[in-house]
Amino acid sequence: MVKVALVTVAGKQLPLQLDASPVSAGALGDAAAAALALEPGRFKLLLRGAAVPTADRGARVALQDGDVLVVVPQRRAPTEAAAAAAAEALGAAPPRGGGGDGDDDDDEDGPLRFRLAADAPAWHRALAAFLRDRCGAPDLALSWLFLVGPRRIGILFAVLAGARVASSFGLGPLYLMAAIVVTVFANLGERRPGEQSAYSVFNRGVARLPGELDAGAIDDAIRRGAGIG
């Protein structure tokens, strides 16, 4: 007996028990459909980042206790009758090759592949190829790496390594304060010409922003009624 969990995109979890593992993809799809009260073919199952080939009912799927199957709703193309009726109502020719089997060319079962943007730098492509081909990094890890940014992750590891070295010399607190100051100044933006800072101390003549409420304005309002009425 193998116990797994079905998780929908809405976060709902449903337990699923199977007699043995490996199990045929068809039997797994039927069991999931019964647990979800859905028709087979109306959803896809993802296991460890790859789509379960439920269309190939004879394929074997190895499961372990505690595995999580993500349930993804499956788009279904309109039937030929519905497509023809819609085309007739719009005064257009019915689409050719339409079908109601719900199988799209771009929805083939298979692993979820990691892809870089078309305008990605060359060193991003070289790093991705090295990590995937030479190190065997999974696509999910590569997706998170390039989502956060290799440069930011490299800086983070460099800061942590520096903290380890500084701590060995008893300079941990000093290093931490210096790292915070450098981080603050490294992330300061640049003001456009004529733009004022929200902090008056950085403005020419310590000018305040229009409408800014400060202690002086409150004192004037209390003592002389300035700005009241």
pLDDT given for residue 30 in this prediction = 82
Amino acid identity for residue 39 in this structure:
E
Per residue in 125-172, pLDDT tens? 888 888 888 888 887 887 777 777 777 888 888 888 998 999 998 888
Is the model more confident about 66 or about 105? 66
- Mean pLDDT score across all residues of the chain: 74
pLDDT of 103 higher than 50: no
Q: What pTM did the predictor assign?
A: 0.33
How far is CA 42 from each of CA 7, 28, 46, 95, 158, rounded to the nearest angstrom? Answer: 15, 14, 14, 23, 48
Q: Could you tell me if 92 and 55 are in contact, meaning their C-beta atoms sit under 8 angstroms apart?
A: no
* In CATH, 2-77 is 3.10.20.90: yes
Per residue in 56-79, pLDDT tens? 777 888 887 778 888 877 766 666
pLDDT of 192 higher than 80: no
User: What is the mean predicted confidence (pLDDT) over 31-54?
Assistant: 78
Per residue in 9-20, pLDDT tens? 667 778 887 877
pLDDT of 97 higher than 60: no
Q: Which two tokens stand for residue 8?
A: 């929908």
Domain coordinates of the chain in residue numbers?
2-77, 152-186
Strand-pair partners of 7: 13, 70
